[in-house]
Amino acid sequence: MSGKFHGRREDHRLVTGRGRYTSDWSFPDQVYAHFLRSDRGHAEIRGVDVSEALATPGVLAVLTGADTIAAGFGSSPSLIHYPGKGGMKFITVHREVLAETRVRFVGQEVALVVATSQIIAQDAAEKIVVDYHDLPVVVDAEEALKPGAPQLYDHVPNNLVFDFEYGSQEAADAAFASAAHVTKLVADAPRIVGNPMEPKAALVTYDAEKDVYDLYAPSQGMTMMRAGLSVGTGIPESQLRVHAHDVGGGFGIRGEAYSEYCSLLLAAKKVGRPVKWVSTRSETFVSDHHGRAAKLFGELALDKTGKFLGVRFQWIVNTGGYLSSPGPFTNTLPPSMHAVNVYTIPVVHGLHRVVLTNTTPTTPYRGAARPNVSYIVERLVDEAAREMGIDRVEMRRINAIPREAFPYKTPTGSVYDSGDPKGLIDDVVKHADWAGYEKRRQESLSRGKLRGISCCAFIEPAGGGGSPVEEVAIRFGDSGNPILYTVSGPSGQGHETTYPEIVGEVFGMDPEEITLRFSDPDGPAQRGDGTIGSRSLMSHGGALFQAAQEVVKKGRELAAQHLEAGVEDIEFTEGAYRVRGTDLAVSLTELSRIYSKDGESQLDTKFEGAQQRSFPTGAHVAELEIDPQTGELELLSYVGVDDCGNIINHTLAEGQVHGGIMQGLGQVFGEVCVYDQSGQMLSGSFMDYCMPRAGDLTKELKLFDRPIPAPGNPLGAKGVGEAGTTGSVPTLANAVIDALRPLGINHVDFPLTASRIWRAIKNSQAA
């Protein structure tokens, strides 16, 4: 991606230790919390004896499920308000904020100890005696659906909370019946842990006089957190103030009002002192909601020339022991919106089953379910090309939606706003020197190495959200320097840099003079959604752009008054209002100061932006080498051509794609949550859970942009925060399979570790 260098202005503050993450907050007189968590996958609770814990010197309170029930606490809200197959209604399940009657996954919160030190709280928690009666456990979603499987809830037959259907079964069956060729594939998208750098943490203060709670927690947006907390606790939103300053990574799993936060509100009220809690990495592994966790079945029907006729999917989604608010939603409706990926597939039929198991709940994790869509479709395309003996790039080209067909209505009714998939494919193969690949493969072979290459394309819905409006505001105060207010703040995306750049451009002002305040409970922006779905730049950035234009318009009237000229004679250039044909001028900041009183300027503007959606697309090529003796692989090159519409900050957009690719690389090559049959997580630490490391990417990523402005928002921008993940998951997977093909290996499930690859090679040699 080209463009002049703009670093993130917040980086200096963050890398010099001046960030303010949740654990950096402290209040006088604060006390500390520790959670006792279930060590069982599935058990009835027959009693909880807290007497010894409570008698421990320094312990101020021990809360159990009885306390949260007495406080009237309920469950978090669901986002599914549409019917499933045959009109099936989504079945909700209740989660006790602290478990009172039953636990359904290892790590579920059972009791909360509050003490004068963290160590005392932890020691006391170990003295709590829980009388568990173990119940049969099921951790695998396919097993959970089978007759006779352990049932997690009496009112959820076969553990199936939702059976979502989209497209037309009849039309798909007809397309498959007429097909010259059908390719079938089953692929696993294993469960992974989000693992932000900052573990879950909270600090709660309670003002008894006003009956108001202040929660400091890493969050992807105070509104989502506040709404969830309110539904979970029954406390009105007006009495909940959520603060998020620096957030050490969100990745989709920091949007929700976790049970811990609800219990901590109660604890702060009970002890009448600020309560602080910082979780450990071990708690992150078992209690942060997980990502992916779906088994994907796909079928692609083709005519004899390789044109796609129809596609059928079945997903079995492992949603865990309880339902996160967005998890079941993101695994059903949104994937149907881009199920045909970038191709002119006329018919589609899908069934996505959302299934409860004795595991940690799942939720959107960078890309949400989109990497599953791109993975299953792009694996099918590569397999179909191999089976039919058609060139895989050519197969993509002949099926790609042509640029002139946009806006493109897919068979499920969604409308792709703009794009040029074929152009992206053509560009990426050129940049990756696809034509010279065979020579490079021969050279690898001469060294005894297997070389693989792949080219994948993707499209994904970005944006959307629950709030009908995005509130933003620009205030000037007495100083005249603009302060921007938004709900959506950064958890690594760089909004502190980008939002001021957008407004600075309109104001003709150095962005360094503009400050961002996000998720400020005292600020004027209180409605809108947070940093989810790669939406912030379009939605909040777009609204700020419009707000800034509004300010300039307002200022024109005031400038005319101040400069004693007609409005029609006032022009606004380079940050100042000027009377045409004279040297009379007043800068925007000066004007705001002149018309400011008691900290309020007449230029202050609040603006309600609209929800925005766009469909970013991309085509990526990966090339890698495998040592057949060991299964070790080396990524030799990765080239991406992305269309994320108009780019506001090239460095940050490229950084987002880069980070997203690394996150996909983690999923493809190493990350996986392993449970044993009793529901214990076997990969619950960095000793056993393989995070991607810098050394996994020794070659420079080559990233290019090929923008087609999004027609639907004022900036012409599309989302970019998740594109790298949606693109890299299929691209890396297909490159590995391509390298292994000469050995007759056509599929290996994630994670594609050296040992799995080595085993696949050995098995193929034995066959």
Where do contacts with ligand MCN occur on this chain (CB under 6 A)? Answer: 249-252, 366, 491-495, 498, 531-538, 644-649, 652-653, 656, 659, 717-722
| φ/ψ of residue 491, rounded to 5 | -125, 35
CB count within 10 Å of CB 277 equals 27
581 contact partners, CB below 8 Å, separation of at least 6: 569
222 SS3 class:
helix
304, 387 contact by CB (below 8 A): no
The encoded tokens of residue 514 equal: 């503009």
Round to whole Å and give the CA distance between 71 and 695: 50
Taking alpha carbons only, the member of 278, 290, 252 closest to residue 122 is 278
Q: List, as one string, the DSSP characters of 75-141.
A: -------S--GGGPPPPP----SS-SSEE-STT-EEEEEEESSHHHHHHHHTT-EEEEEE------H
**Pairing relation of β-strands 570-573 and 576-579?**
antiparallel
Q: What is the DSSP letter of 539?
A: I
- Burial class for 620, CB neighbours closer than 10 Å (0-12, 13-18, 19+): buried
- In terms of DSSP H, where are the helices of 126-203? 141-145, 169-177
3-state secondary structure of 353: strand
**Helix/strand/coil for 643:** strand
Do the Cβ atoms of 345 and 168 come closer than 8 Å?
A: no
Residue 87 tokens read as 């009109």
Phi, psi of 241 (to 5 degrees): -115, 120
Asked, as a colleague might, if the bond just before 407 is cis with ω within 30 of 0, I would say: yes
Q: Which residues share a beta bridge with 61?
A: 114
Amino acid type, 668: V
β-bridge partners, 34:
113
CB of 10 to ligand MCN, least distance (A): 11
Q: At what angle do helices 723-740 and 754-766 cross, to 10 degrees?
A: 30
The residue with tokens 């499933």 is 84
Q: With contact defined as beta carbons under 8 Å apart, do 618 and 643 qualify?
A: yes
Per the CB < 8 A criterion, the answer to whether 585 and 562 are in contact is no
Q: What is the DSSP letter of 404?
A: G
Q: Which residue in 307, 437, 461, 451 sits closest to 374, CA to CA?
A: 461
**Which structure tokens are listed for 132?**
């568990």
* Beta-carbon contacts of residue 389 (< 8 Å; ≥ 6 apart): none
Residue among 317, 655, 255 nearest 465 (CA) = 255
As measured in angstroms, the least distance from the Cβ of 194 to ligand MCN is 8
Angle between helical axes of 650-669 and 723-740 (0-180°, round to 10): 40
- Taking the complex as a whole, the smallest distance from the CB of residue 541 to ligand MCN amounts, in Å, to 7
8 Å CB contact between 34 and 121:
yes
Q: Kindly state the smallest distance separating residue 221's Cβ from ligand MCN, in Å.
A: 10
Cα–Cα dist 512/608, whole Å: 25
How many helices (H) and strands (E) are present in the chain, helices listed first? 22, 32
Neighbours of 414 (CB within 10 A): 19
**Residue 525 CB burial class (10 angstroms; 0-12, 13-18, ≥19):** buried
Omega before 714 cis (within 30°)?
no
Longest dimension (CA), the chain: 91
Integer-rounded Cα radius of gyration of the chain: 27
Q: Are 105 and 266 in contact (CB under 8 A)?
A: no
